[in-house]
Amino acid sequence: MANNRTFTMIKPDAVANGHIGAILNDITAGGFKIVAMKYLKLTPEKAGEFYAVHKERGFYGELVSFMSSGPIVAAILEKDNAVEDFRKLIGATNPADAAEGTIRQKYAKSIDANAVHGSDSDENAEIEGNFYFTDAEKF
Ligand code: RTP
Ligand code: MG
């Protein structure tokens, strides 16, 4: 994946609370183009695999069980400087620290149920996008 792409998930809390449309609107209004998108529910095994990098962290078990608790929206997004600009659009990990107007400030309730995921590097954006999508599913 080129360095103008990032990967996101609308997490189970935001889906359950009816925020899919509003979040997608913020994403497109923020200048991101949707390259790939699907609506799915992760098994605990797949969620554990996706977050394997956090395996040793105290919050890993909770994170895996939360991310497999309900459906999510997974998407690849395109924009210049996508990784950094998308993390600005979503705000800090803990919504209590997220800047005014960011997606997490508006739609997240807690550090665990924090509405959205955003890749943290170009390398991880490519790995994470390829976890969900084949090349034929990217437009
Ligand atoms: P994400 O990967 O979801 O975009 O979030 P992030 O980069 O801002 O945060 P990261 O460090 O990658 O952590 C992944 C998710 O784990 C939960 N977390 N809980 N209790 C805690 O101290 C803690 N720290 C992280 C969050 O839900 C975070 O989004
Ligand atoms: Mg992260």
Q: Is residue 139 part of a domain?
A: no
Number of other CB atoms surrounding residue 112 within 10 Å:
15
Query: In this structure, are residues 63 and 54 in contact, taking their beta carbons and an 8 Å threshold?
Result: yes
Place of tokens 């395996």: 55
**Once rounded to an integer, what is the mean pLDDT over residues 9-30?**
98
ipTM beyond 0.90?
yes
End-to-end alpha carbon distance in the chain: 12
Band the pLDDT of 2: cuts 50, 70, 90.
low
Is 59 part of any known ligand binding site? yes
The residue type of 72 is I
Report whether pLDDT(3) > 90.
no
Q: What pLDDT was estimated at residue 115?
A: 98
Nearest ligand, CA 110: 1
Whichever domain contains 114, its CATH number is 3.30.70.141
- Asked if residue 125 is part of any domain, the answer here is yes
The Cβ of residue 8 has, within 10 Å, a number of other Cβ atoms equal to 29
Q: Is 85 in the pocket of ligand 1 (CB under 6 A)?
A: no
In the sheet with 72-78, reading across from the earlier edge strand, the strands are 33-40, 72-78, 5-10, 116-118
Contact predicate 48/11, CB 8 Å: no
Residue 136 has pLDDT above 80, yes or no: yes
Q: Report whether pLDDT(22) > 70.
A: yes
Is 93 marked as a binding-site residue?
yes
* Protein residue with its CA nearest to atom 11 in ligand 1: 93
Two tokens, residue 6:
């990032």
pLDDT of 46 > 60? The answer is yes
Q: What is the pTM of this model?
A: 0.97
The residues assigned a catalytic role are 117
**Nearest atom, ligand 1, residue 112 CA:** 27
Ligand in closest contact with the CA of 114: 1
Rounded to the nearest integer, the mean pLDDT of the chain is 97
Burial of 139 (0-12, 13-18, 19+ CB in 10 A): exposed
Does a structural domain hold residue 42? yes
Domain extent at residue 28: 5-134
125's enclosing H/E stretch is helix 122-132
**What distance in Å separates the CA atoms of residue 77 and residue 67, rounded to the nearest whole number?**
20
Q: Of residues 9 and 3, which shows the higher confidence score?
A: 9
For residue range 55-104, list pLDDT tens digits in order.
999 999 999 999 999 999 999 999 999 999 999 999 999 999 999 999 99
Task: Compute, in angstroms, the gap from residue 93 CA to the centroid of ligand 1.
Answer: 6
Task: Please state the domain count of the chain.
Answer: 1
